[in-house]
Chains A and B, each alone.
Chain A
Amino acid sequence: MVAKRINILWAILGVVGGMALGAWYMGSRIQSPAEMAARTAAPEPSAILVPVESRLLSSDIVTRGTVRFGLPQPISIAPSTVKGGVGLISSLPRPNTNFGEGEVILSASGRPVFVLSGAAPAFRDMAPGTSGGDVRQLEEALARLGFDPGTIDGNYDQKTSGAVERMYKKAGWEPFAPTREQRAAVAALEREWSDAARAQLAAEATRETAVKAVAAARATAEQNTRQAALDSAARVGNGRQLADARAGKSLALEAERARAAHSATAASADVATQVADRALIVLDPRQTETARAAAEAKLKVARAAQRKAKLEADLAIQTAAREAGLADERIRVAEGAVKAARLEGERNVRAAQEQQTLAEFDVQVASERAGRLERELATARAKLGVQVPADEVVFIPSLPIRVHEVTAAVAANASGPVMSVTDNQLSIDSQLPLEAAPLVKPGMKVAIDEQALGIKATGVVETVANTPGTRGVDGYHFYLGVRVETTPVLLAGFSVRLTIPIETSKGAVTAVPTSAVSLAADGTSRVLVDGGGGQEYVTVQPGLSTGGYVEVSTPDGRLVPGQLVVVGYRTAEPAAGPAAVK
């Protein structure tokens, strides 16, 4: 009985359970028409409202760049000639250490290496007496550091030397004094100069002697000439006699000739008389033969006398001419003796003059050498002041500097490149796409930021390459160089975002999201303003559009910041959407 009741109870429970399951299943499946309509009806759209804003609109070019200090430049130490050899590096700076002007960047063999500002590198030792552009650089640096070097004229003088000494002492180093070699060189120069001065004096004495020798030679030559003239005169007479003799021999000769001519004329006249007489006798028939013969004989006598006179005249002329020739010979001999004496004297004078010339040349050589040694000695003495060896200063075009990489090691030779440095100016290497490059100009402001660290800085466009593919960028980009102007931290090595505003609204303007502006049928732009109770279209004049916002203006000022405009309509989520994609 009990079992039967239990079975009935189970059966009832089963039936109830089955009915419950059936009711649940049917309930989940059966839907009323209202429910079906509600489920399938389109949801009520609700407007998505955003406020009108007053904001600065800016159209930007965004790119990336790597911040660096200036391009690394090597620092080399020039060899110094005043030091015995190359020093050994005794201390070196660590990378990223900064150095300003007048600071010691490293030391070698216990000597400092100063860093100074200057365009040209140090290439020689600078000491009192040297001059040039490097000295001017040194003087300018000393002046900037407050050590008065006197007039900045490119000449290393005592004031420069004093300024250098003060610079060394202020940095805690002893200035570079004259070396033992320099002092020894000065001593040697002093000795040489002394010898040269003595040689000059000796040459001058020789020259004086030579001058006197020339005068003596001249006097001797004059005396000899005069003596020769006297001797000649004594031989032919004195000078006047000689002249008279020369003139006289001609007169005697002419006298003889005249006499000969006279005798000849007289003889000719006598002959002519006899001829005439003979003719008269011959032609006169009255004359006798004897008369004729007598006339003939007289004629012959006359002719013989004529011949005699002629012969005697010729003899006299010849005698006179021979006498005249002897006189000439004597005169020539006397003149030759005088000339010989004069020539001998002149030769002696010339020889003495040559000696004088040689002596003067010796004096000149000795004077020049003495003068040169005196100048060298003065220079060497002047160089004995405080000097700047070439390996104790490096000139850098722009300071301060930052050590980029140290290439030398302690105890290595302090010569040649030892490190590379950069200037302290942060720059950014970046690139621009081809289409963006024409929009960016040097001088444009740049917003710099590193988002992960929240660093913001400012800069200015320094360079935009003229052609793509330069300075390490590919051929589809232009190199962009940006100079960092203000930054809260040193950004060197960071990759930063560069935002270059290429067009701004020049102050805050009324702006709405771009999606809020629609086009009306008449072609005007408008926004739908929600006024709480209702919505109305407001015609606007769109302006600059960037960053999802557009500048809008209304002639009547109906649109003001804070008002709500419709940018879209929100609809209800579908009941069953895609599994993942929103």
Chain B
Amino acid sequence: MKKTICAGLFAVLLATAAAQAQAPKGLGTEEFGMSPRELVQAIEKTEELIARCMREQGFQYIAADHNTVRAGMSADKRLPGLSEEEFVSRYGFGVSTFYTGLPPQLATGYSPARVGLGERNVQIFRKLSPADQVAYNRALLGDDVFSTLAVALETEDLSRTGGCTRKALTETFKPDQLKASHYNPQDALINKDPRMKAAIAYWQREMKKAGFEYGHSDEIEPDLRNRLIALTEGGKLLVSKMSQDQKAALRKLQDYERLVAVKSHKMHEEVLTPVEEKIQEELFSRKVQ
């Protein structure tokens, strides 16, 4: 009898869980849980506000269209001729491995931030005097010159933004979305799934065996950025002006980034991605971009 009662209660709970597993109404499949249309609107509005803010600061800024920003978002961990796996094996997450100390507009190689700013803005920046360039990036991006709109959207971390970008985002996004603690509701929903929990636990164990202690793969890149910022005086120290000790520390961080990126990427592809895709299919009936 007791077994019957327990079975009945379990059935009730399962039904409740199944009901909860349905995606909430209005939750989109793009960054920050936005729908594709909402993301385009958010990008366009933010860029317009950034351009207006920069104009008020005396700088010329051409509002980038959403395709440019999306190109910057898509450029993350992508280089022509390299698959994502090859990219990760060579450059890790591209955080410290491409660090030069130069602002993104002056980067000549891999730079999603530069792509997301748009070529016209890059050219405008390059014609400025060094002092104006510093002021331009401070006005546009604040302290973290690599947290452009495209990068912030791609990493879903708006907390590192500053300057006019931050000001525009404040008018476009909700306050809780601007916080570092904000978590994509879609990801939160997936992470709440017992299958995902089990997969993450497995991922944690395997990573720990390899010598990396992280709670989730999303924690790795912010950790690398923080380490890089600590090492490079806020990301403004030119590699050419680094001391030998600083250069050695940077090389060590780059090696660490490659190792942790390869391991994490492998584990992500093997363990987390299949479960994530399965849950997404159940929630959204499609794979999330």
User: Does A429 reach chain B (CB closer than 8 Å)?
Assistant: yes
User: Does B42 reach chain A (CB closer than 8 Å)?
Assistant: yes
Contact B59 A581 (CB under 8 A): no
Determine the interface band of chain B, counting residues with CB < 8 A from chain A.
Answer: 35 or more
**Residues of B contacting A65 in the complex (Cβ-Cβ under 8 angstroms):** 132
Contact A7 B172 (CB under 8 A): no
Contact B129 A579 (CB under 8 A): no
C-alpha gap A66/B41 in the complex (Å)? 36
C-alpha gap A495/B59 in the complex (Å)? 11
C-alpha gap A402/B85 in the complex (Å)? 56
C-alpha gap A497/B54 in the complex (Å)? 11
Known contacts A578-B38, A581-B38; A474 and B127 CB within 8 A of each other = yes
User: Does B28 reach chain A (CB closer than 8 Å)?
Assistant: yes
Contact B171 A582 (CB under 8 A): yes
Contact B1 A7 (CB under 8 A): yes
Known contacts A494-B131, A580-B38; A62 and B55 CB within 8 A of each other = yes
**Residues of B contacting A580 in the complex (Cβ-Cβ under 8 angstroms):** 32-34, 38, 42, 172-174, 177
Q: How far is the CB of A100 from chain B (nearest CB, A)?
A: 27
Q: How far is the CB of A428 from chain B (nearest CB, A)?
A: 11
**Residues of A contacting B174 in the complex (Cβ-Cβ under 8 angstroms):** 580, 582
User: Does A253 reach chain B (CB closer than 8 Å)?
Assistant: no
**Residues of A contacting B177 in the complex (Cβ-Cβ under 8 angstroms):** 580
1/0 per residue, CB under 8 A from B, across A495-517: the answer is: 11111000000000000000000
Q: How far is the CB of A286 from chain B (nearest CB, A)?
A: 168
**Residues of B contacting A579 in the complex (Cβ-Cβ under 8 angstroms):** 26-28, 32-35, 38, 185
**Residues of B contacting A283 in the complex (Cβ-Cβ under 8 angstroms):** none
**Residues of A contacting B56 in the complex (Cβ-Cβ under 8 angstroms):** 62
Nearest B residue to A493 via CB reads B131
**Residues of B contacting A576 in the complex (Cβ-Cβ under 8 angstroms):** 25-26
Nearest B residue to A474 via CB reads B127
By the criterion of a CB under 8 Å from any partner CB, how many residues of chain A are at the interface? 27
Q: How far is the CB of B285 from chain A (nearest CB, A)?
A: 18
User: Does B194 reach chain A (CB closer than 8 Å)?
Assistant: no
Nearest A residue to B133 via CB reads A495
Contact A581 B45 (CB under 8 A): yes
* B29-74 CB contacts (< 8 Å) to partner A: 32-35, 38, 41-42, 45, 55-60
User: Does A59 reach chain B (CB closer than 8 Å)?
Assistant: no
**Residues of B contacting A63 in the complex (Cβ-Cβ under 8 angstroms):** 58
User: Does A452 reach chain B (CB closer than 8 Å)?
Assistant: yes
C-alpha gap A576/B57 in the complex (Å)? 36
User: Does B188 reach chain A (CB closer than 8 Å)?
Assistant: no
User: Does B167 reach chain A (CB closer than 8 Å)?
Assistant: no
C-alpha gap A473/B27 in the complex (Å)? 48
User: Does B231 reach chain A (CB closer than 8 Å)?
Assistant: no
C-alpha gap A472/B127 in the complex (Å)? 9
User: Does A64 reach chain B (CB closer than 8 Å)?
Assistant: yes
**Residues of A contacting B173 in the complex (Cβ-Cβ under 8 angstroms):** 580-582
User: Does B189 reach chain A (CB closer than 8 Å)?
Assistant: no
User: Does A10 reach chain B (CB closer than 8 Å)?
Assistant: yes
Nearest A residue to B134 via CB reads A495
User: Does A451 reach chain B (CB closer than 8 Å)?
Assistant: yes
1/0 per residue, CB under 8 A from B, across A312-354: the answer is: 0000000000000000000000000000000000000000000
C-alpha gap A498/B132 in the complex (Å)? 12
* Central interface residue in A65, A66, A67, A581, by most chain B CB within 10 Å: A581
C-alpha gap A494/B58 in the complex (Å)? 14
**Residues of B contacting A496 in the complex (Cβ-Cβ under 8 angstroms):** 135
User: Does B138 reach chain A (CB closer than 8 Å)?
Assistant: yes
**Residues of A contacting B25 in the complex (Cβ-Cβ under 8 angstroms):** 576
User: Does B6 reach chain A (CB closer than 8 Å)?
Assistant: no
C-alpha gap A67/B1 in the complex (Å)? 87
1/0 per residue, CB under 8 A from B, across A453-484: the answer is: 00000000000000000000110000000000
Nearest B residue to A63 via CB reads B58
C-alpha gap A498/B135 in the complex (Å)? 13
C-alpha gap A119/B41 in the complex (Å)? 62
Known contacts A66-B131, A580-B38; A495 and B136 CB within 8 A of each other = yes
* A42-78 CB contacts (< 8 Å) to partner B: 62-67
Nearest A residue to B59 via CB reads A64
1/0 per residue, CB under 8 A from A, across B180-204: the answer is: 0000010000000000000000000
Nearest A residue to B171 via CB reads A582
Nearest A residue to B129 via CB reads A66
Q: How far is the CB of B57 from chain A (nearest CB, A)?
A: 6
Contact B38 A64 (CB under 8 A): no
Contact B129 A429 (CB under 8 A): yes
* A163-195 CB contacts (< 8 Å) to partner B: none
**Residues of A contacting B57 in the complex (Cβ-Cβ under 8 angstroms):** 62, 64, 451, 497
User: Does B5 reach chain A (CB closer than 8 Å)?
Assistant: yes
Contact B58 A497 (CB under 8 A): yes
Contact B1 A498 (CB under 8 A): no
In-complex Cβ contact of B41 among A495, A499, A581 (8 A) = A581
Q: How far is the CB of B104 from chain A (nearest CB, A)?
A: 18
In-complex Cβ contact of A581 among B60, B131, B136, B172 (8 A) = B172
C-alpha gap A65/B132 in the complex (Å)? 7
Q: How far is the CB of A28 from chain B (nearest CB, A)?
A: 13
**Residues of B contacting A494 in the complex (Cβ-Cβ under 8 angstroms):** 131, 135
**Residues of A contacting B42 in the complex (Cβ-Cβ under 8 angstroms):** 580-581
**Residues of B contacting A67 in the complex (Cβ-Cβ under 8 angstroms):** 131
Nearest A residue to B174 via CB reads A580
C-alpha gap A64/B5 in the complex (Å)? 76
Q: How far is the CB of B199 from chain A (nearest CB, A)?
A: 26
Q: How far is the CB of A104 from chain B (nearest CB, A)?
A: 32
**Residues of B contacting A499 in the complex (Cβ-Cβ under 8 angstroms):** 58
In-complex Cβ contact of B132 among A64, A433, A581, A582 (8 A) = A64
Q: How far is the CB of B29 from chain A (nearest CB, A)?
A: 11
1/0 per residue, CB under 8 A from B, across A561-582: the answer is: 0000000000000001011111
C-alpha gap A167/B136 in the complex (Å)? 49
**Residues of B contacting A582 in the complex (Cβ-Cβ under 8 angstroms):** 171-174
C-alpha gap A493/B129 in the complex (Å)? 10
Q: How far is the CB of A66 from chain B (nearest CB, A)?
A: 4
**Residues of A contacting B60 in the complex (Cβ-Cβ under 8 angstroms):** 433
Binding site for A on B (CB under 8 A): 1, 5, 25-28, 32-35, 38, 41-42, 45, 55-60, 127-129, 131-132, 134-136, 138, 171-174, 177, 185
Can you list 7 A-B pairs with a CB-CB distance of less than 8 A?
A63-B58, A64-B136, A495-B132, A495-B136, A578-B26, A581-B34, A581-B173
A-B pairs with the 3 shortest C-beta distances?
A: A495-B135, A64-B58, A497-B58
